[in-house]
Chain A
Amino acid sequence: MLRFLVRRIVSALGLVFVVSMVSFLLIKAPPGDYADYAATLAQSQGGLSYEQSLVLKQEIRERLGLNKPLVEQYVHWVEGMVLHGDFGPSYVFNKPVGELINDRFWRTLGIASTCHVLATLIGVGLGIIGAVYQHRWGDRIASTIAFLGMTIPRFFMALVILYWLAFVVGYQYIGAIYSREYIFAPFSFAKLWDLFKHVWPIIFVAAFGGLAYNMRVMRGNLLDVLRQPYIEAARAKGLPGSTVVLKHAVPNALHPLIMYQGIAMPYMLSGELEVAIVLGVPTVGPLMLDSLYRGDIWVTATIFLWLSVILVVANFFADVALGLIDPRVREAGSV
């Protein structure tokens, strides 16, 4: 088990390393850097002459180490993130990226996790119904729900809900995360309820899209398991149908689903982003898009880095969970 754990940790760290390199390259890819930006700003708004701005540029580059070789800059950047929590500057907001992203990021993570849990539970439930009532009405309904969830574009669902809420219902909880009176209020259940009133469309759309995959995987697995001899044995013994399914079949069918969680989580994050952008709920989605429009590359790259790291961590836990319940996985090791 220890060897398995160590191997997983090493591979996760490797992934984090590669992801951080990709983010760094993203930051460095567009022409111009923070010194250019600051010098231009000083020239246009601070009244510096061109020559003075060149001096300023040089100063900033030296102070931030932007004139050093790329490798050194990379090390410096990672050091800043890990040791000081410094994620670089946002050009547009003129404040540290970390500050900008922090609140929004945890909201995104919270919403995405809620969607994930809901999609898994409902998806597994529908999958069980689909497998137990194969080729009957229960299966047809469950499969139709899954097919629709997979086919309807999420941003379209979000647009329709937005249109319906805004112009048909006249719903007032759109485009924000809290109502005005709750923004600075301490935590309470009323605040939580208010939060829910703002984010349920996101949860609904993202979970609806995600449960389809869970349902399909679960239905397929359970059908395979239900054909096994030991299920027949359990039935022959005279156990009631529900016991056979819930106690003997379902636990054995869950196993590939856990492996699948590593793939489901990115899907949920993407879903949350998409819907939040359409509905304008202030999570990282709209911020990332805005930074894209305005060329605020540090923000874009840092959000990308954070989301990727979260996924690597989630994958790691999924792997470990799988290793815990299945000895074959931890013995075999790779993949």
Chain B
Amino acid sequence: MTVFGEDRPPRLLLDATLAPNVGAARPAAETASESQQAADGLIADSAGPERRAVRSQTYLSLVWRRFRRNSLGMTGAALVLAIAVVTIFANFFSPYDPIARNRDLIYVPPQALHFFAEDGFHLIPFTYPLSTQIDDSTFQVVIKEDSTRKCTPVFLGRGWSYELFGFAADRHLFSPPAGCPWNVVGTDREGRDVLSRMVVGSQLTMAIAMIVVALSVTFGSLIGIVSGYVGGLTDHWIQRGVEFALALPEVPFYFALVAIIPRDLTPLEIVFIVCAILSSLRWAQLAREVRGKTLAISRLDYVAAAEAVGASRWRIVVRHILPNVMSHVVVATTLMIPSIILIESFLSFLGIGVQPPMISWGLLLNAAQNIQNLGSYPWSLSPVVAVLIAVMSFNMLGDGLRDAIDPYQQ
């Protein structure tokens, strides 16, 4: 993030002419901490009249001011933050151990949450304990609620133990009492709590998305910058490579690559291979866009000036070109995450991505691939809600950022 704040050259000549005061006042270099302070628009606004010297707004604070007004983008940002918290502290948020089986509670439908009982309102929603019987004539499993007892989970109570940043922990947001089920989203084929699996599954899904995006963005922007700045024959051949990657049909290409994964790998190795496969095409689009930006920037005066002063190529790329394409890269990153989540979910849903015993959203959906299962246990589709929320919030954040990233444009 500091890439923006610290001595950012005027974006483009065009921008500088559009807002001359902003461009001209920029070189008054601010330290990172000051720009951090200024990033908070409120402080910058209220502190204005008290200080004698008028300070120009940093790029980051301008972006923030613009972004703040976009309610959709702000909603997206809040949701992304929430997802990040849930993902990082997933074990804390999951009431049950995601791999603990329970043979008494197989395919329990989502249990109704109750807030009201005879004795009034309960802040912590409770469920009623279940008893399973087999219907004598149809042999169907019938699940009955016993409304005489209440299953109230303990807020911040002790539950199954896990490890958090290397420390042993057993506190959970809600910890259900023993022998009294609290399966809010139901259970799966082996009696495992679907909600817990969804919450914990977010870790792998997000990790894969992050790895893939990190790889694609790093390679994409580097290749794009090199292609645009070096030019000539290098540019020509890199562009042929980009064209090739863009011309391939995405899903069939992934299928074809999955087909040649050796069969004897461990699930963890497969996760890494899936990451590599998903990174194989995504760099191209970004490389093309970054190349365009680099071409435009490298024609500007300050790059020529840097060359004239004798700055090395490396310095020009890192100090003058990279910061200017960074805003575009950040937007592309945000918008790439949801598409990776989608494609990973699809592959795992088909059973050719992440393999059990690992847990990802797509793998959980794999239980709904069979139409009989889908009909009998529709709640196995519920992880889709998580996918949907994640994809929407990243898309909203990305759209908002894209609109805000060019604050000099009115």
Contacts and interface: CB of A to CB of B under 8 A. Distances in A.
Interface of A: 11, 14-15, 18-19, 23, 26, 29-31, 147, 150-153, 155-156, 159-160, 162-163, 166-167, 262-263, 266-267, 269-270, 273-274, 277, 288-289, 291-293, 295, 297, 300-301, 303-304, 307-308, 311-312, 315, 334-335
B259 A297 contact: yes
A49 B356 CA distance: 39
Interface string B373-407: 01100100100100110011001000000000000
Nearest to A312: B247
A162 B391 CA distance: 22
Contacts of B244: 15, 18-19
A96 B133 CA distance: 53
B248 A311 contact: yes
B252 interface: yes
Nearest to B399: A147
Contact of B387 (A156, A277, A300): A156
Contacts of A334: 236, 239
**Residue from A29, A151, A295, A311 with most neighbouring chain B CB atoms (10 Å):** A151
A167 B346 contact: no
Contacts of B408: none
Interface string B344-378: 01100111100000000000000010010011001
A30 B257 CA distance: 11
Contacts, number: 119
25 contacts: A15-B243, A15-B244, A19-B247, A23-B256, A29-B260, A30-B262, A147-B395, A151-B391, A153-B387, A153-B388, A156-B387, A166-B374, A166-B375, A167-B375, A262-B247, A269-B251, A270-B250, A288-B255, A289-B350, A289-B352, A303-B252, A304-B255, A308-B247, A308-B252, A311-B248
**Residue from B243, B251, B252, B263 with most neighbouring chain A CB atoms (10 Å):** B252
B249 interface: yes
B350 A300 contact: no
Contacts of B375: 163, 166-167
Interface of B: 236, 239-240, 243-244, 246-253, 255-260, 262-263, 338, 342, 345-346, 349-352, 368, 371, 374-375, 378, 381, 384, 387-388, 391-392, 395
Nearest to A301: B256
Given A153-B342, A153-B388, A159-B374, A308 B259 contact: no
A286 B352 CA distance: 13
Nearest to B368: A159
A30 B259 contact: yes
Nearest to B250: A270
A307 B346 contact: no
A305 B175 CA distance: 53
Contacts of B338: 151
B239 A288 contact: no
Contacts of A291: 259
- What are the 8 A-B residue pairs with the smallest beta carbon separation, nearest first? A270-B251, A29-B260, A304-B256, A300-B259, A307-B249, A266-B249, A156-B384, A304-B252
A304 to B, nearest CB: 4
Contacts of B346: 153, 155, 274
A292 B381 contact: no
Contacts of B240: 11, 14
Given A162-B374, A297-B260, A300-B259, A308 B249 contact: yes
